[in-house]
Structure 1
Amino acid sequence: MESRATAVNPARIAELGDDAEVFLLDVRRERDYEAWHIDGAYNVPLYDQLLRKDYGGLEAALDEIPSNVPVYVVCVAGITSARAAAFLRDRGYDAASMVGGMRGWGRVHRSYDVEGADGVIQVVRPGTGCLSYLVYDDREAVVVDPSQYVQEYIDVARERELEIIGVIDTHAHADHVSGGRTLAAELAVPYFLHEADGGHLDWYVSVRDGDRIAVGDRFFEVVHTPGHTPGSTSLRFGGVLLSGDTLFIRSVGRPDLEDDDDAAVRQAAGQLFTSLREIADLPDETVVLPGHFSNETARPLVTTLGELRTTNELLVIDSEEAFVERVVESLGETPANYRRIKRVNWGLEPLSEETAQLELGPNNCAAT
């Protein structure tokens, strides 16, 4: 009899995409599934039963689970899903447990060359909606907005025979733990951040509007675009704009994560409007690479400023008052644990096994 795999790597699920003939079975509690799940996963909330090794609910749900395709079972950390997968295999299913559960899903990184953006590699975290970049020229590379899993960037650079010479954070992140300082310290290279977002950090290279950061024979131009945070920056690299959390595909960065007082939010939204007006002055053919995505499925995630003028309603609002009202009225749920994440990124709280898990969940950095 053919041996079947009992476990599947989260990265393999990311590779399969939406068209794969597999069935993703999420056995977590319904509220956890509704808050954050893999696109296309089907929820049968059996987590508490499976913890007790009670398989009655799973037995009753067999009619909901197809037997003619592989079944990949998902839970929190891979324990209850392994039990469910074993139960299903005993009944003839081709079932495997996703290694590490949703925690493992949050760690997946995939790299793509960006067509039309020479020298730019986009690193996608499908589980968190985060985008980061390796930008290179003449074998030198700078990493922009890295996740805490810094080995991912070291590995990509090694595969491409690139030397990482610097790390940039476009702002002090509130949705994920930055690997910027960790990566820079490990490689003994500069860590760049706008001074307005430095918090209590004791070492970084402060950048301001108009500064240039060399990469091989090319350079980044720092564009100060406050609003999402006081020190938010976008980075021009020739005809490419890495827009950080200032401008997304269908939205803009939310202005309430620095100070949620109504007056402060409105003031930050006004700054964001001004920043977007500056970006809007760039040529239509400017390639725009944001710091996050929501439910967009294109990989890599890339657009042009001309396209955004037709798809992003917030970018084309020409009244500051109307823009501020629209943004303030449409603010949704804030990123989970964002205050503690900012404390970690500001150097006020150490990175630990506990704080490393704070970022797991849906991305909510967009204003709408």
Structure 2
Amino acid sequence: MNVKEMTAKQVAEKVFKKEHLFILDVRNESDFNDWKIEGENFEYLNIPYFELIEGVDGIVDQLPKDKAVIVVCAKGGSAQFVAEQLVEVGFDNVYTLRGGMKAWSEHLQKIKVYEDENMKVYQFIRVGKGCLSYMVLSGKEALVVDPSRFINVYEDVANDEGVKITHIVDSHLHADHISGGKELAERTGATYYLMKSEGAVFDFAPLEEHHTIEFENVNLEVLAVKTPGHTPGSVSFFVNHQLLFSGDTIFVGGLGRPDLGGKVAEWAADLYETVYEKVASIADDVIVLPAHYANLDEEINQEGFIGDSLGNIRARNDMMQNKQKDEFIKQVVAGANTETPPNFEDIVAINRGHVKVDIEKQQELEIGPNRCALHHTHE
């Protein structure tokens, strides 16, 4: 049976190159509407698998005969069954996504975002989840920012670059994905930093006690700027006065959500102080590199990574422009109570160290979109 496969990496390349792809998604309609593979030039047809068990004759007129069709399901099995039927009725260019949406959720796309004589910085885009992590390399050492649980990716890059991972930081206690910080630290011997106020119960270096993190002899400094707003212990990392790893405090298209803890007005006040006092003193030409993005097509820049100058972000976002504190809090409260990240309470419990789960459970908890942004403006 002439059914070919595409890997998540190959599909991601099509996203970044803005190529055309026709996707036949055979998951349930609600799952498709909640979360799908998104590409600027992608076409979609969503027909649940159970409607195709008896055959695909009813949809052949809705599919292109002269273009590649990729069939997508949750893990790959249902897509293979449907793809085989399509080949039987005469479709020549049919693919399945190897590993299905589970594999799509787990793919990390590495992109170089910065390099000078002191450091090189890679961004890892988790395309199917909207999560971003980073490696800062200097001399023979590296620092990892907001690592995902796919720690082999960072280890492989360190091996390829001839560096040792010596420092790992999480900007906050993540609510939509499981952090790889603790395990990566255990595997590499690196120091793992987290805010003590986030409530983790395992051993780590409290960021409250480390205002700067220095490594190598090139004077690469990572300044932990206390920037509450998304969670009480959110921080940002200001590197060499050139890059701001902003966690979930500032996004390319908006600000972090302060409503996940049930204290939206109180945390919105913290967010205001962050935006108008701490971040206000940072220069416009500093590059902001967040921990999440909401829309790849809108937020990816001409260099191919997610990030922008702080000046451009300020100019686009009216929440960062001369708002009075009361008005700011009022707007944040009005925008709150939107959907929460799926399974966020379970994920937070894992990231705090209260609960341990196996790989299969981790995959199940992470399936779905990220919902960590509060306010997006793209005028």
- TM-score interval, smaller chain: over 0.9
Contact 1:116–1:287 (CA<8 Å) still a contact in 2?
no
Other structure's SS at 1:87 match: helix
1:70 to 65, 68, 71: 68
User: Which sits farther off after the overlay, 96-105 or 350-359?
Assistant: 350-359
Matched, 1:256 2:263: no
Which residue of 2 is the match for residue 247 of structure 1?
Answer: 250
Letter in 2 for 1:337: N
Q: Does 1:230 align with 2:232?
A: yes
How many residue pairs match? The answer is 357
Q: Which residue of 2 aligns with 1:110?
A: 109
Q: 1:335 to 1:41 in 2, by over 3 A?
A: farther
CA distance in 2, matches of 1:337, 1:125: 18
| RMSD, aligned CA | 1.7
Percent identical among aligned pairs is 33
Task: Give distance in 2, aligned partners of 1:77 and 1:88.
Answer: 19
Residue of 31, 47, 50 corresponding to 2:49: 47
Identify the residue that residue 22 of structure 2 maps to in structure 1: 23
Q: Using the alignment, how far apart are the partners of 1:200 and 1:295 within structure 2?
A: 31
TM-score by length of 2: 0.90
Q: Which consecutive residues of structure 1, in runs of 5 or more, have no partner in the other structure?
A: none
Aligned equivalent of 1:362: 369
Correspondence 1:194 to 2:195: yes
SS of 1:165's equivalent?
A: strand
CA contact (8 A) 1:5 1:96 kept: yes
Partner of residue 264, structure 2: 265
State which of 8, 11, 25 in structure 1 corresponds to 2:9: 11
Q: For the structure 1 residues 336 and 41, does the alpha-carbon distance in structure 2 shift closer, same or farther, using more than 3 Å as the test?
A: farther
Q: Following the alignment from structure 2 to structure 1, what is the Cα–Cα distance between the partners of residues 357 and 280?
A: 37
2-structure distance, mates of 1:19, 1:168: 33
- Shift, 1:155, TM fit: 1.3
TM-score, structure 1 length as denominator? 0.93
- After superposition, residues 1-368 of structure 1 pair within 5 angstroms as 6-17=4-15, 19-39=18-38, 40-50=42-52, 53-55=53-55, 58-93=56-91, 94-115=93-114, 118-197=119-198, 199-208=199-208, 211-216=211-216, 217=218, 218-238=220-240, 239-257=242-260, 259-260=261-262, 264-277=263-276, 278-297=278-297, 298=300, 299-331=304-336, 332-352=338-358, 353-368=360-375
**Cα distance in 2, alignment partners of residues 97 and 184 from structure 1:** 36
Shift of 1:367: 1.0
| 1:44-71 alpha-carbon deviations (Å, 9 max, x no partner) | 2222235xx322xx32011111011111
**1:161 shift after superposition:** 2.0
Stretches of structure 2 that go unaligned for 5 or more consecutive residues are none
1:167-218 Cα shifts (integer Å, max 9, x gaps): 1101100011111101111112111001111x24220000128711123231
Q: Shift of residue 83 of structure 1?
A: 0.8
Partner of 1:343, secondary structure, is: helix
